[in-house]
């Protein structure tokens, strides 16, 4: 059985200028232990999708709707607030880009680590403290026992993100959502953190949703990837299928404009123009104005999700086989 | 390389910042943001300056432009040591050296429409006075791919990519020879980043510009640079041609840095051997003795603590500061 089933999720925000559909009909499933990448550029709806799953979007002004939002048999959309609080932290945990803003600056690291243990695991003070030390050791913080009394500002950025990971994994969640969790870190620290999350979640069997604008990270970490554009999933599939046999004009554009550290500069192919305004409901493919591979049919009908071999699917009318580069 | 004198020659550049003095107790050691940086840069070329937060790459850029006065060292621009010049005599050099920042919108005055922002740059340096000025502004906007009607817009009405184009336009208005690009494309989405990178490369070909491209993103640096200098804790630890740095890096730090950059190719990325460094960057106020990288270096030996390694010439134009190379 799937761990998470999302069917036709739509999150909209009412503003004075009109309604912004930040997430517009997103559907996907996630199996236990699966690592899913969510890629796309700013404003594509990656983060709002994650926040909607956690029911962390403030309603109103937002409105979260879905046919189904199922996590381990619980309907996240209709569950009472108390059930949601039990799921957040214990069922689904989340780490964000900026650990300084997700950690409370006036509470010690120890207090912030023991809080979820006492709330979700019903541990007593001594047991929670003991477990907190183990968790800090697990994420590679030296002198864990003495660091329990430290405050977040006494840690470096990489150390703070380690603390966030320790808190997120403390109650053995079945799903970890990492929202640009390494974007603010230097690459050598990013490599440490990515390796840490990969190892720990693999050992614990935790499913992970990696939200990232970095195609390289997703290429190395994920089993499957969803490519998002203008609030929609435009392509989904196993990571090798999507990278080597992209089936959407946007995915081809994204790969073509990403420089690679292992290749000498062929000129980058930028995607011309700008992403669409999310207030206007486009009658055709939202990527059409920027698409280099559009065919005449794209100007007449709106594409539907087309299934391809190998569990791969895309919302695109063009036949893109000539753009496939194959594995190296 | 040609025998012509380089456009820029930096010799023993150091920038130290005094630490904040506490009310009691001894004064803290100064932060040695840049601590002995030397390189030359030929006209029309691009030097990529890479390294992690706090390595001194931006401070080096600011010191070259005299936005921060260096603690010591020489900045020889077109034959003149500008670090030794009094402020008044610097102005003609300021026109010849410009900078583009990461957050373009924040570097543009929010109360001025785009056209006035560019006019201001011309005004300060007394360029294109009179009737020709309007034509020059349209020409400049065209050069960076901005439609003329956007001249009426205010910075907040621009997208991130458009704001960066205006920042580039403003830098170009005064006809500079050297442009320091300080993380100039880092905040942009990849599709827009590619547009700006291509624009910078076209402008270099058309106008013969020289760039110092400061970035933490090694993929972009590989794309734009002729030469690359890798910095760590205020020093250049390795400098070489683009090809040598990316294919034959010698310094353990350069190699670790390169191996940490993810590659958007599943098979390549999963087959790579990655050097994962332990620990965090030491404080630049209190760098380790000997080689500054030794506390995180996977190849450290005892001798590394004893002596600060001088740059060693490995091939023409390729230097690395490591006793093990």
Q: Quote the crossing angle between the two packed helices A187-204 and A157-169, to the nearest 10°.
A: 10
Spell out which residues of chain A touch residue B256, defining contact as CB-CB under 8 Å. 188
What stretches in chain A show pLDDT beneath 70? Answer: 265, 325-328
Cβ contact, residue pair B265, A260, below 8 Å = yes
Of A189, A213, A267, nearest to B189 by CB-CB distance is: A213
**Interface test mutation site (partner B, options A219, A227, A238, A261, max chain B beta carbons within 10 A):** A261
Tens digit of pLDDT for each residue in A227-238?
999 999 999 999
Cβ contact, residue pair A265, B53, below 8 Å = no
Report the 10 Å Cβ neighbour count for B278: 11
DSSP states along A78-133? TS-HHHHHHHHHHTEEEE-S-HHHHS-TTS-HHHHHHHHHHHHS---HHHHHHHHH
**Interface test mutation site (partner A, options B145, B190, B241, max chain A beta carbons within 10 A):** B190
Tell me which DSSP letter residue A286 carries.
T
Tokens of B9: 């020659």
Cβ contact, residue pair A260, B263, below 8 Å = yes
Cβ contact, residue pair B190, A254, below 8 Å = yes
Using 50, 70 and 90 to split pLDDT, how confident is the model at B257?
very high
Q: What percent of chain B has pLDDT over 70?
A: 96
Spell out which residues of chain B touch residue A156, defining contact as CB-CB under 8 Å. 280-281
Amino acid A325: pLDDT: 64
Cβ contact, residue pair A271, B216, below 8 Å = no
Spell out which residues of chain A touch residue B159, defining contact as CB-CB under 8 Å. 274
Chain B residue closest in CA terms to A222: B266
Spell out which residues of chain B touch residue A255, defining contact as CB-CB under 8 Å. 264
Cβ contact, residue pair A186, B52, below 8 Å = yes
Cβ contact, residue pair B218, A158, below 8 Å = no
Using 50, 70 and 90 to split pLDDT, how confident is the model at B302?
very high
Amino acid B125: pLDDT: 86
User: 3-state class of A265 per DSSP?
Assistant: coil
Amino acid B178: pLDDT: 96
Taking the C-alpha atoms of residue B188 and residue B186, their distance in angstroms, rounded to an integer, is: 6
Cβ contact, residue pair B262, A159, below 8 Å = no
With CA atoms as reference, report the closest residue to A302 among A319, A290, A315.
A315
Amino acid A18: pLDDT: 87
For β-strands A224-229 and A35-39, DSSP reports them as parallel
Which of A319-328, B103-112, B261-270 is predicted least confidently?
A319-328
Looking at chain A, the number of H-run helices and the number of E-run strands are 11, 13
Smallest CA–CA distance, residue B301 to chain A, in Å, is: 21
- B88 Cβ under 8 Å from any chain A Cβ: no
* Rounded average pLDDT over B220-239: 95
Q: Which residues of B303-314 are buried (b: 16+ CB within 10 A; e: fewer)?
A: ebeeeebebbeb
Smallest CA–CA distance, residue B65 to chain A, in Å, is: 26
Amino acid B169: pLDDT: 93
CA distances (Å), origin B279, targets A141, A153, A257, B131, B308 = 10, 17, 33, 60, 21
Using 50, 70 and 90 to split pLDDT, how confident is the model at B223?
very high
Query: Which residues share a beta bridge with A177?
Result: A94, A209
With CA atoms as reference, report the closest residue to B289 among B236, B227, B233.
B233
Cβ contact, residue pair B53, A186, below 8 Å = yes
Amino acid A328: pLDDT: 43
- B273 Cβ under 8 Å from any chain A Cβ: no
Spell out which residues of chain A touch residue B192, defining contact as CB-CB under 8 Å. 270, 274
Spell out which residues of chain B touch residue A269, defining contact as CB-CB under 8 Å. 194
Smallest CA–CA distance, residue B249 to chain A, in Å, is: 13
CB pairs A-B closer than 8 Å: 136
Spell out which residues of chain A touch residue B269, defining contact as CB-CB under 8 Å. 216, 219-220
**Interface test mutation site (partner B, options A143, A270, A290, max chain B beta carbons within 10 A):** A270
- B197 Cβ under 8 Å from any chain A Cβ: yes
In the predicted structure, residue B19 carries a pLDDT above the cut 80:
no
Tens digit of pLDDT for each residue in B56-103?
999 999 999 999 999 999 999 999 999 989 988 998 899 999 999 988
Amino acid B2: pLDDT: 47
- Cis bond upstream, residue A61 (ω within 30): yes
For β-strands B8-17 and B31-41, DSSP reports them as antiparallel
Cβ contact, residue pair B269, A195, below 8 Å = no
């Amino acid at each position: 059985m799937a761990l998470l089933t999302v069917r036709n999720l739509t999150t909209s925000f009412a503003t004075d200028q009109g309604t912004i559909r930040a997430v517009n009909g997103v559907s996907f499933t996630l199996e236990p232990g699966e690592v899913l990448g969510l890629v796309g550029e700013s404003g594509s709806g990656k983060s709002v999708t994650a926040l909607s799953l956690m029911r962390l979007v403030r309603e109103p002004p937002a409105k979260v709707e879905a046919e189904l939002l199922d996590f381990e048999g619980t309907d996240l959309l209709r569950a009472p607030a108390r059930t949601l609080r039990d799921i957040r932290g214990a069922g689904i945990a989340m780490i964000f880009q900026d650990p300084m803003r997700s950690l409370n600056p006036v509470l010690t690291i120890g207090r912030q680590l023991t809080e979820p243990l006492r709330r979700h695991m019903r541990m007593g003070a001594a047991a929670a403290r003991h477990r907190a030390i183990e968790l800090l050791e697990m994420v590679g913080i030296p002198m864990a026992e003495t660091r329990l009394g430290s405050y977040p500002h006494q840690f470096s950025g990489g150390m703070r993100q380690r603390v966030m990971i320790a808190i997120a994994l403390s109650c053995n969640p079945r799903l970890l959502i990492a929202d640009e969790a390494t974007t603010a870190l230097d690459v050598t620290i990013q490599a440490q953190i990515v390796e840490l999350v990969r190892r720990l979640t693999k050992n614990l069997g935790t499913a992970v949703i990696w939200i990232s604008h970095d195609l390289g990270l997703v290429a190395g970490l994920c089993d499957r990837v969803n490519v998002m554009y203008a609030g929609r999933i435009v392509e989904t599939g196993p990571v090798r299928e999507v990278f080597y046999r992209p089936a959407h004009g946007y995915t081809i554009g994204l790969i073509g404009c990403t420089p690679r550290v292992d290749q000498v500069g062929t000129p980058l192919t930028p995607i011309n123009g700008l992403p669409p305004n999310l207030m206007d409901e486009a009658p055709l493919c939202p990527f059409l104005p920027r698409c280099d591979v559009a065919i005449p049919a794209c100007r007449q009908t709106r594409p539907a999700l087309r299934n391809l071999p190998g569990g791969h699917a895309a919302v695109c009318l063009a036949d893109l086989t000539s753009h496939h580069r194959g594995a190296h | 390389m040609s025998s012509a004198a380089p456009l820029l020659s930096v010799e023993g550049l150091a920038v130290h910042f005094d630490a904040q003095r506490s009310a009691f107790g001894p004064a803290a050691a100064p932060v040695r943001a840049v601590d002995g940086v030397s390189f030359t840069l030929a006209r029309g070329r691009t030097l990529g300056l890479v390294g992690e937060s706090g390595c001194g790459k931006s401070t080096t850029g600011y010191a070259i432009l005299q936005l921060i006065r260096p603690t010591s060292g020489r900045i020889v621009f077109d034959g003149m040591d500008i670090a030794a010049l009094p402020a008044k005599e610097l102005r003609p050099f300021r026109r010849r050296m410009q900078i583009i920042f990461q957050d373009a919108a924040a570097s543009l005055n929010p109360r001025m429409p785009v056209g006035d922002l560019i006019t201001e740059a011309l005004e300060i340096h007394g360029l294109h006075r009179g009737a020709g000025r309007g034509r020059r502004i349209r020409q400049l906007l065209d050069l960076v791919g901005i439609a003329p009607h956007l001249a009426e817009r205010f910075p907040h009405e621009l997208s991130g990519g458009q704001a960066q184009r205006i920042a580039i336009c403003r830098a170009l208005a005064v006809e500079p020879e050297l442009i320091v690009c300080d993380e100039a494309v880092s905040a942009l989405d990849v599709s827009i980043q590619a547009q700006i990178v291509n624009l910078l490369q076209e402008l270099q070909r058309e106008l013969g510009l020289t760039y110092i491209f400061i970035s933490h993103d090694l993929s972009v640096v590989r794309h734009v640079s002729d030469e690359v200098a890798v910095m760590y804790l205020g020093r250049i630890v390795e400098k070489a041609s683009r090809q040598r740095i990316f294919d034959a890096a010698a310094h353990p730090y350069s190699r670790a840095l390169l191996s940490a950059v993810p590659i958007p190719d599943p098979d390549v990325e999963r087959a790579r051997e990655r050097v994962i460094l332990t620990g965090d960057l030491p404080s630049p106020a209190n760098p380790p003795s000997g080689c500054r990288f030794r506390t995180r270096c996977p190849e450290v030996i005892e001798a590394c603590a004893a002596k600060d390694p001088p740059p060693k010439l490995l091939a023409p134009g390729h230097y690395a500061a490591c006793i093990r190379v």
